[in-house]
Structure formats: C-alpha cells, structure tokens
C-alpha cells in the first residue's frame, strides 16, 4: 500500500470557521435555562470543539440526564440562530481551493451533528470543496472524534496511511491517532500549542498558509520514501 497522501480530513469549528458567537451564546442560553447564570461568554470557550454532552458533564458537573437536557436547550437556540453566528476563517477558501486543484480529496470530520455541519458548509459557500461532510448523529451517537474519522475512512474506502486529519483541539489529534491517521494541529482555532503537542500532534501550523506547506511536505515524504 502506497503511503502517498490523498485524503485530507478537516475539523469544522475552529479549523474551517470561527463559531465563537453562536456556540457560546447557545451554551449560555442552555445554562441560563438551567439556573446556571453566565456573566462572561469567554468563559465558555472550552465548549468549542469537544462533544457538547461531554462538556456539560466535565465542565459543569451535570448528571447524564441534566447534560442531555442542556444539549436539548442548546439546540433550541443553535438550530435556528446560533449555527449562522459564524464566520469562515480568513484564508480557508484559498487553502481548500488549492488543495482540490492539486487533486486531494477533502472531507469534513466534526463532532457537530451532521445536519448542522452540512447547513453551515453550504451557507458559507464551502460545499463544493468537500466530497463528504460527516458529523455526529442527533441522538448522540458517533460523537467521539475517533468514531467520526473512522466513519469517513470506512464510507469512502480511505486507507489511514493515505490520510491526514486537521483540527484545533486535542480531540482531533487523539481521534486521528486512534484511527492510525497522521495529524496536523492548528493554532488559529481554540486549542493551545501545549494542548495539541501533549495530545501527540504530528505537525502544528500557526497560520492557515502553513497547513498547505505541511501537507506538501507530508506528500513529498511519502513519495520519496517509496513506501
């Protein structure tokens, strides 16, 4: 099996788009409904990236039932307003266009429900770049990043050694490792260099343009090795 890079998987929140406003306001809405008053939206930044259900348990100490209710309340606002309180990260369309022109197959692998991810990708004019947009299910299944990545690989007949996962949080890196996929952590999202390095990121990009440069090096290394 050739190790030549062919498929590139992207996280959505914090990697393709900046969802800060929509996510933090929707989390605040849910917490306020549950009598957890939020004074500063910036305190909710840790909610960007990981599965919401897990975050409500880990960050707020909610029970499983209360976490499920919090997710329901979050979606009341997010499904109508929050999903479009978002913005494409500068340079991303150019990066995607360049990679597609070079012959790479591009995919979205997110913990966000697939239905919301598809709507966001379409709304912001990114749909034409991607072969498949995959997220979690609304019933909470396939929410772990490793499950999402594996589903993309399986559904599109992608060999792990011919793929790379790009994301801004440790969950993206840990998920990639679990699937045997090389990873690129990005610093223009919501994860720190320490978080990404500690998780085991193979590469780290501080700028959008650097992502393309790293991908070129990965592909060249695979060709030169003749593996």
Q: Are 5 and 164 in contact (CB under 8 A)?
A: yes
- Residue 94 CB neighbours (<10 A): 12
Q: Are 134 and 107 in contact (CB under 8 A)?
A: yes
Torsion, CA 35, CA 36, CA 38, CA 44, rounded to 10: -140
Q: Is 11 a catalytic residue?
A: yes
Q: Are 152 and 132 in contact (CB under 8 A)?
A: yes
- Residue in this structure with the two tokens 């589903």, named with its chain if needed: 151
In the set 11, 13, 168, 172, the catalytic residue is 11
**Number of separate helices (H) and strands (E) present in the chain:** 9, 8
- Residue in this structure with the two tokens 């699937």, named with its chain if needed: 179
Q: Which residues are catalytic?
A: 11
């Amino acid at each position: 099996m050739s190790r030549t890079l062919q498929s590139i998987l992207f996280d959505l929140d914090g990697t393709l788009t900046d969802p800060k406003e929509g996510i933090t306001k929707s989390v605040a809405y849910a917490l306020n409904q549950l009598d957890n008053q939020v004074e500063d939206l910036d305190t909710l930044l840790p909610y960007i990236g990981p599965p919401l259900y897990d975050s409500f348990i880990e960050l707020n100490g909610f029970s499983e039932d209360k976490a499920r209710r919090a997710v329901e309340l979050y979606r009341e606002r997010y499904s109508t307003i929050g999903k479009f309180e978002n913005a494409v990260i500068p340079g991303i369309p150019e990066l995607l266009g360049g990679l597609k022109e070079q012959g790479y197959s591009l995919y979205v692998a997110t913990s966000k429900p697939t239905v919301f991810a598809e709507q966001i990708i379409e709304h912001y004019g990114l749909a034409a770049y991607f072969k498949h947009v995959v997220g979690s299910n609304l019933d909470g299944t396939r929410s772990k990043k490793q499950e999402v990545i594996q589903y993309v690989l399986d559904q599109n007949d992608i060999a792990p050694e011919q793929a790379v996962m790009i994301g801004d949080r440790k969950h993206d890196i840990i998920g990639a490792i679990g699937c045997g996929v090389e990873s690129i952590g990005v610093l223009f999202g919501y994860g720190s260099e320490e978080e990404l390095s500690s998780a085991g990121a193979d590469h780290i990009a501080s700028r959008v343009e650097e992502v393309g440069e790293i991908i070129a090096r990965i592909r060249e290394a695979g060709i030169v090795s003749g593996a």
